[in-house]
Copies of this chain bind each other. A is one copy, B any other.
Amino acid sequence: MGNVTAPAPGQTSGASGQSAAGSTATGSNGASAKNGAARQPKAAAARASRRRSGAPAVSEPDTRERILAAGAALVGAKGFNGSGLSEILERAGVPKGSFYHYFGSKEDFGVALIERARDEYLDSLRTHLSERKRSPLSRLRSIFEDTRAECDRNGPTVECIIPKLALETATLSDPVHAAVKCAYQQWSALIAQVIREAQAAGEVARSHDPDHLADVLVMLWEGAAVRMQIDRSIGPLDDFLAFVFDTLLPARR
């Protein structure tokens, strides 16, 4: 390691690559894998071609999605390494054999999990942000308030598998890391855009640089989310809202 680099935030899904995993062993085991070539899920190509040809796709009702949903729930609760495939699949009501039909490996599955969460979240964000009848600042606020409400509904211990997976696996697995990084960049960019609109509308002081401010908001929100899990209370999210919208942004000056 030692490097840092930034390998093109786009491309995330696809081939695994099998990053450095057990290469640290100092003593006995040494080489453990005989595989050299990357496995591929078999189903991905099929799915793509089927979609392309517009077939009704009677089968594969939602197996893949069921696995992902169960995985998201369990990983959210017990972490990625803490969740075994067996339990995920048991909850999804899907046999083991099907898993490797849809995903190349557990790591692949992790990437898919992140992409799913990211797409879902960013979509809801875009929905909120495109509500043209509300002012930019009010739209921005609604984003966070809605997430807060959701956390309130689901209990403070769920939610936000992205930072969880990020901290847990990003040090190890490059594909997961890339997916997470990409998610954050898009998120930040969206926020920056609303901030610009809010500034144009005179709702936010122009002294703030939109990109930096967006990064700060994202970081603060993430910190609040972490704190929420630690305190097991959504208080931190309220603190976030109060600080950002009552103190920080309306810097009328």
The A75-105 residues at the B interface (CB cut-off 8 A) are 77-82, 87, 90-91
Given known pairs A215-B236, A239-B212, the reply for A26 and B170 (CB within 8 Å) is: no
The number of times this chain is found in the oligomer is 2
C-alpha gap A233/B87 in the complex (Å):
35
- Please name all residues of chain B whose beta carbon is closer than 8 Å to the beta carbon of A226 when the two chains form the complex: 163, 166-167, 219, 222-223, 226
Contact A26 B171 (CB under 8 A): no
Residue A181 is within 8 A (CB to CB) of chain B in the complex? yes
Residue A202 is within 8 A (CB to CB) of chain B in the complex? no
C-alpha gap A253/B247 in the complex (Å):
13
Flag A220-235 by CB within 8 Å of B: 1 or 0 each.
1111101101111101
Contact A220 B220 (CB under 8 A): yes
- Please name all residues of chain B whose beta carbon is closer than 8 Å to the beta carbon of A180 when the two chains form the complex: 230
Contact B26 A90 (CB under 8 A): yes
Give the Cβ gap from A221 to chain B, nearest Cβ, in Å: 7
Residue A25 is within 8 A (CB to CB) of chain B in the complex? yes
C-alpha gap A224/B168 in the complex (Å):
16
Residue A61 is within 8 A (CB to CB) of chain B in the complex? no
Residue A17 is within 8 A (CB to CB) of chain B in the complex? no
Residue A190 is within 8 A (CB to CB) of chain B in the complex? no
Contact A230 B170 (CB under 8 A): yes
Contact B79 A229 (CB under 8 A): no
Flag A21-63 by CB within 8 Å of B: 1 or 0 each.
0001111100000000000000000000000000000000000
Given A164-B167, A167-B226, A219-B239, 20 other A-B contacts at CB below 8 A? A1-B239, A2-B155, A2-B235, A4-B231, A4-B233, A26-B91, A28-B90, A78-B172, A79-B167, A82-B168, A166-B230, A168-B168, A177-B232, A180-B230, A208-B247, A216-B220, A216-B239, A219-B220, A219-B236, A222-B227
